[in-house]
Structure 1
Amino acid sequence: MFGMTANIKQFYYEDITSASTEQNSNSSDLTGMLIDTAITAATKTCDLIISVAGARNKINTLYKVEAERVVAVYHQYRKLAKQANSQPQVVVQQQVESPVEQIKKLKELADLGIISEEEFNQKKSDLLAKM
């Protein structure tokens, strides 16, 4: 069965509810559990447990360093996502001056000679038409 895979599960990161490591043991009796614990401690392996929508998914026999790194990355990104969601959204709304305020400013520009009296009157009539 080279090249064939079975029981592949995929899920979205957002759906993961927890990630943890677990010392792997297949034995139900105390002696077997102790032997399994000694073997996994010597080989530095563990199982990675990923919970998704209430289902518990286990990845068997990973090197402990790798499994702990997966858990750390998960917690780091989960924390960043929570922080991003908790920050208030700032909406900048530009204030629109009233037509009267705009006419006053245009009059100042006309008095200073920056715009002509003709330009002032044209803009003034445009603004008054909007009222």
Structure 2
Amino acid sequence: MQLYTFAYIVGIVELIIFIPVLVSGTKAAAFMQKFASNDLAIRSLGAIMTIIAVLVLLGNWSIGSDPAGLVRLVAWATLIKGVLASWYPDILRKNMSLLSNANMRLVIAVVGIVIGVLLVYAGGIV
């Protein structure tokens, strides 16, 4: 998989997830809590994340300070998160409890949106 494709996919997914958290935090948090209660859904999402990250890292796995290296760093983080979600879904369930706090939910949403925008931008320059 090309690096720019990965950056676009992950960036758009980040925006799809975190814009609703910013706009309607309570409803989005309730949806995510319901999603997190389904073990098969978390494990399947983890498997998809792992596959996408491995496809990107097969080409070049080196991390650098250039935009391509930073996108590869995100790919490594996606790989680790995907493996953890596939094999230890309880870890992700515990992280979902952060969304119950309104202030923390706002911080998480803003950080997620910034990361999503930066990844979409990086997809255009790598």
Larger Rg over CA atoms: 1
Q: Which has the higher contact order (CA 8 A, sep 6+)?
A: 2
* TM-score, L = length of structure 2: 0.29
* TM-score, L = length of structure 1: 0.28
More helix by share: 2
